[in-house]
Amino acid sequence: MEGRKPLAKVEGRRRLRMSGVTVAFRGTPNLDDWVAYIANGTKSRKTILADHASERKVKTLMTRLQTMSKKEIEKLAKG
């Protein structure tokens, strides 16, 4: 009897041009366990942008963040 293959995790980082903020994201395809957070903050204070979201919501959020300023992104975060 063969065991099940573990689910593939996806991780990535994107540096936003206008604001200079680096946003990291990770999750599992086809599951609603994606998280996106500001990566270039302090280690003790990771600012969360999306948590327990779908892959589609995280990708849409990343697109919307491209045109925002740093203050707008930090205001949007749940911190």
Phi-psi region of 45 (alpha: psi -120 to 50; beta: other; left: phi over 0): beta
pTM: 0.82
Cβ within 8 Å of residue 51, ≥6 positions away: 35, 78
- Write out the residue range of the structural domain in which residue 46 sits: 10-76
User: pLDDT tens-digit profile of 35-66?
Assistant: 999 998 665 566 899 999 999 999 999 999 99
Residue 16: pLDDT above 90? yes
Residue 3 lies in a domain: no
Measure the CA–CA gap between 32 and 68, rounded to whole angstroms: 25
Residue 4 lies in a domain: no
Tally of domains in the chain: 1
Q: What angle do CA 29, 74, 11 make, to 5 degrees?
A: 25
